[in-house]
Structure 1
């Protein structure tokens, strides 16, 4: 499915009926051949937006998956870069692609770091956390950053109600809610639970100073607003 190297429909069905961790363990060898991997255009746009704010010291990719975010961290960070994920399979794939980075298996809702990083990034991970879980996630990232450290991640604008994407994402989320209501273990993956205002409020409550910048390279919607913004959440305090 998706490409000759990607997973089959049967493989995707098995993964979708697994837990999040087990599902990604199974998907890991073929993950980079699916649309779920963060596109190069987004990685490049984020790197371009962060470059004037650097250079940075140590960097961390939160929910790193197979390590696509290393493309952003490597040229921006002058010290060690680290990927954190709870899927052993995804980390194994990441290590094979980026053997010089540090890879740590951990629950990102309880990150095992304190004041260790100058830059944290994350790509496509927020949908794996229910809104009630975001405060723990953001609090952990806040603790992991040094004073003045930056947490950055892209967040797309919601599609207009008249677009096919709006109804496709709504249908996906409804399907996942039904699946999680009748099947265990849960597989948490929703596309419509990460509204920018709600994420901004949760980051502010965790102690961050938050602003957003448009990722102009990714284009604009018909109303002129950006298709995607980069959230820049700065840990308070002097570096």
Structure 2
């Protein structure tokens, strides 16, 4: 991260002391050169798992950032693909980096809050990568309700969820430390910067989706292997609007 191409420590500090939206506006030009961008391996695995569930006409990337998920949708949808994000800076980078290919689906970029999506029954497929840590648990039902309303009947909302790290592992302590530091930052500094790694448990997420009106399936992404207990390291949540 701390390379000539990526953000400097000072830039990250300024971002962390800004609001969530302003922080991403500032980070946008260098975002794709940080570990925060969803790895291509994850994007490709999701695309391969979703493709047999189609065909799809129109797709929506919820909290699209710099547009990595839009590229996935362009390979899955025939008519139109829309990326939506609340950060003008991230959308500017996305527009410059991801233009629609000749003969492919039309690509749109929309600035909007995911908690107030300006769409009604417009899409066959919605996906999201790496954005859910920006929503507090009490906001999840509202977020899922907005996506539900944006989908046509039978439309799918898909996203990957990794298994939590083993208690006591290095990853466990790293994520716990990050979340505690962020909570302390938000208790002492305004405006808040909402980003947590441990607020999106699969069981709670599934319950919220069902209460919103989705039917939910969980597909293992076998490319990422299994844990010692045999459970998948990464699952794909496939939520269908009835």
TM-score, length basis structure 2: 0.96
Unaligned runs of 5+ in 2: 101-106
* Alignment partner, residue 58 of structure 1: 58
- The secondary structure found in structure 2 opposite 1:147 is strand
**Count of paired positions:** 236
C-alpha distance in structure 1 between counterparts of 2:190 and 2:224, whole Å: 38
What does residue 19 of structure 1 align with? 19
Q: Distance in 2 between matches of 1:179 and 1:118?
A: 39
**SS at 2:109 equivalent:** strand
Is it true that 1:49 corresponds to 2:55 in the alignment? no
SS of 1:132's equivalent in the other structure is helix
The 2-side partners of 1:111 and 1:234 are apart by 18
CA contact (8 A) 1:147 1:235 kept: yes
Aligned-pair Cα RMSD in Å:
0.8
> Does the 8 Å contact 2:2/2:9 carry over to 1?
no
Measured against aligned partners, the alpha-carbon deviations of 1:35-67 in whole angstroms (never above 9, x if no partner) come to 000000100110010011112010000000000
Q: Does structure 2 conserve the Cα–Cα contact (< 8 Å) formed by 1:2 and 1:35?
A: no
Deviation at 1:220, TM superposition (A): 1.7
* In 1, Cα distance between equivalents of 2:168 and 2:229: 13
CA distance in 2, matches of 1:112, 1:3: 38
Shift, 1:212, TM fit: 0.7
- Cα distance in 2 between the residues matched to 1:37 and 1:4: 17
In structure 1, what is the equivalent of residue 33 of structure 2? 33
CA distance in 2 between counterparts of 1:205 and 1:88 reads 32
- Provide runs of 4+ in structure 1 moved above 3 Å: none
**Secondary structure of 2:57's partner?**
coil
Q: Deviations over 1:174-220 (max 9, x none)?
A: 00000000100000000000000000011011100011101111122
TM-score (norm 1): 0.97
Q: Partners of 2:110 and 2:226 in 1: how far apart?
A: 37
Unaligned runs of 5+ in 1: none
Partner of 2:78: helix, strand, or coil? Answer: coil
Query: What does residue 82 of structure 1 align with?
Result: 82
The answer to whether the 8 Å contact 1:24/1:89 transfers is yes
Residues 1:99 and 2:99 aligned together: yes
Tell me how far apart the structure 1 counterparts of residues 226 and 41 of structure 2 sit (CA, whole Å).
14
